[in-house]
Amino acid sequence: MKMQSLEDIVKKIDLPLFHSIGEAADSISRPCYAVGGCVRDLFLDRPSKDFDFVTVGSGIELAEIVASRLGRGTHLNVFRNFGTAQVKRHDTELEFVGARRESYDRNSRKPVVEDGTLEEDLSRRDFTVNALALCVNRNGFGQLVDLFDGLADMERRILRTPLDPDVTFSDDPLRMMRAIRFATQLDFTILPETFEAIRRNAERIRIISKERIVDELMKIMHSRRPSTGWDLLLKSGLLAIIFPELAAMKGVDVVNGRGHKDNFYHTMAVLDNVAEKSDDVWLRWGALMHDIAKPVTKRWDEKIGWTFHNHNFIGAKMVPRIFRRMRLPQDSKMKYVAKLVELHMRPIALVEDEVTDSAVRRLIHDAGDDIEDLMTLCEADITSKNQEKVRRILDNFALVRRKMVDLNERDHIRNFKPPVDGTEIMETFGISGGPVVGQIKSAIKNAVLDGVIHNDHGEARELMLRLAAEQGLYPVSGAKEQEGVS
């Protein structure tokens, strides 16, 4: 990430849009500055379509003038309760606010806001790299206001607070999450003194809504290397509060000189492996949670050592509870993550055993449309330092993949439903239901998956008739003929 010079930045904002905003401010004799993350991103050469502007006075009044000057295709939204206004033009969003100072009550992150100076406004910002202001007025266009050496911090790639970090984080504990999120997104280092303040104030995170916390976690998960954020959350003490099940994975127990791997750092490796292959954030959540039940299933067996029996099934049952508590979506995304957690052991079991057609068919059927994501997760789960072992397992995974393609093309197994359904069974034999219907359906399904019959209606119906006859059931017409004979 190459730093841009101030000269480069002035060229970037030498556009009609920025000059129009400056002219609008000049028309009412107001100073106006681009501030915060948009200025930071200009220096870091990161794309941005959202720009924040601060003026000394009413931000709403300035926004109204800007909107009128920009004309057609411009939409103005005013939020009088917050003293802010938003101007949307095409795909660009401009936010306007008056400079302000804030004071906080210890039991709330909602500040008492009063009009303030530019200096007071910048001092209340979360980090020095976000406390930069760029003038857009005609006189002084492109001049940088940097009261806290934010530009030098950006060059050194560090995050620190403009004021006392204990005050900053205690006033608004969400800033602790933001520090970790920015460190992850920008590949910056949190200054040790600042990080220690996060550790001291970690308990304050309890006053923040789960929705806001999850919003920060999702941004971490979208990052190029999400493990950075989760590791910082662990070391700061925040993880034990917001996601205790994941924090519980840290550490190694040793009995008789035998220890298991650190499941937290194994999970981090798997997560980053998945992130290299996919931008799908829910596949990344599946990677994060694939071993989530290992702490509760961990047992020592004198004969075989450490075991984690059924951690995949128990983990799948934990997913809905965790999603509910953390305010993650209670919908198909949750079910998708739970499915990945439950099935993640299946492909490796195929690799370690003989790769039978029957087992591959069952895997294709159970995973359905998520089979490729499951295979991506399972390949990412191979984190051994033994490169020969990794190569052997990945070669076997390639064999499984070839078999999946061949069997699915031939038998149409993915998301298949038994060729004979319950309605046909009941109508054929003149019955209204009962256990026998489910037994016949299940037997037909298993016969297809085991390769005993093809995924074909004719073969399935023939098997249905045989199975029913063993239960003393005959087609309705055949049953009447039997009664006539007797």
Cβ atoms of 163 and 125 closer than 8 Å: no
- In whole angstroms, what is the distance from residue 418 CA to residue 198 CA? 56
What pLDDT, on the 0 to 100 scale, is given for residue 485?
A: 33
Q: Which of 124, 166, 139, 141 is nearest to 36 (CA)?
A: 124
Q: Report the 10 Å Cβ neighbour count for 474.
A: 17
Angle at 476 between CA 470 and CA 479, to 5 degrees: 60
Tokens 């206004």 — which residue?
85
Q: Report the 10 Å Cβ neighbour count for 282.
A: 18
Q: Report the 10 Å Cβ neighbour count for 75.
A: 12
Q: Which of 447, 349, 453, 448 is nearest to 400 (CA)?
A: 349
What pLDDT, on the 0 to 100 scale, is given for residue 102?
A: 67
Q: Which two tokens stand for residue 173?
A: 């504990």
Q: Report the 10 Å Cβ neighbour count for 1.
A: 11
Cβ atoms of 241 and 205 closer than 8 Å: yes
pLDDT for 295-333, tens place per residue? 999 998 888 888 899 999 999 999 999 999 999 999 999
- Domain ranges in the chain? 6-155, 157-242, 422-485
- In whole angstroms, what is the distance from residue 134 CA to residue 9 CA? 9
- In whole angstroms, what is the distance from residue 177 CA to residue 165 CA? 13
Instruction: Compute CA 312 distance to the chain's CA centroid, rounded to the nearest angstrom.
Output: 20
Output the tens digit of pLDDT for each of the chain's 486 residues: 678 999 999 999 999 999 999 999 999 999 999 999 999 999 999 988 899 999 999 999 999 999 999 888 899 999 988 889 999 988 899 999 999 876 656 665 566 667 889 999 999 899 999 999 999 999 999 999 999 999 999 999 999 999 999 999 998 999 999 999 999 999 999 999 999 999 999 999 999 999 999 999 999 999 999 999 999 999 999 999 999 999 999 998 888 878 888 999 999 999 999 999 999 999 999 999 999 999 999 998 888 888 899 999 999 999 999 999 999 999 999 999 999 999 999 888 777 666 778 888 888 888 988 999 999 999 999 887 788 888 888 888 888 888 888 877 776 777 777 888 889 999 898 888 888 898 998 899 888 888 888 888 999 999 999 998 888 888 886 443 343 333
Q: Which of 422, 405, 414, 403 is nearest to 460 (CA)?
A: 422
Tokens 């602790």 — which residue?
176
Q: How many alpha carbons lie under 13 Å from residue 209 in its C-beta half-sphere?
A: 7
The CATH code of the domain at 6-155 is 3.30.460.10
Residue 463 to residues 140, 399, 446, Cα–Cα distance (Å): 85, 32, 12
What pLDDT, on the 0 to 100 scale, is given for residue 106?
A: 63
Query: Position 413: which residue type?
Result: I
The CATH code of the domain at 157-242 is 1.10.110.30
What pLDDT, on the 0 to 100 scale, is given for residue 112?
A: 63
Cβ atoms of 160 and 128 closer than 8 Å: yes
What pLDDT, on the 0 to 100 scale, is given for residue 113?
A: 67
What pLDDT, on the 0 to 100 scale, is given for residue 109?
A: 56
Cβ atoms of 308 and 297 closer than 8 Å: yes
* 224-260: b (≥16 Cβ within 10 Å) or e: ebbbbbbbbbbebbbbebbbebbbbbbeeeeeeeeeb
Cβ atoms of 340 and 370 closer than 8 Å: yes
Query: Position 429: which residue type?
Result: F
Q: Which two tokens stand for residue 205?
A: 């995170």
Q: Which long-range contacts (CB under 8 A, 24 or more apart) does 395-404 make?
A: 396/350, 396/351, 396/355, 397/347, 397/351, 399/355, 400/347, 400/350, 400/351, 400/355, 400/360, 400/375, 401/375, 403/355, 403/357, 403/360, 404/360, 404/363, 404/364, 404/371
What pLDDT, on the 0 to 100 scale, is given for residue 1?
A: 62
Q: Which two tokens stand for residue 413?
A: 């197994």
Contacts of 288 (CB under 8 A, 6+ apart): 221, 226, 230, 246, 267, 271
Contacts of 237 (CB under 8 A, 6+ apart): 198, 199, 202
Contacts of 414 (CB under 8 A, 6+ apart): 364, 365, 368, 369, 371, 408
User: pTM of the predicted model, to two decimals?
Assistant: 0.86
pLDDT for 216-241, tens place per residue? 999 999 999 999 999 999 999 999 99
- In whole angstroms, what is the distance from residue 142 CA to residue 136 CA? 6
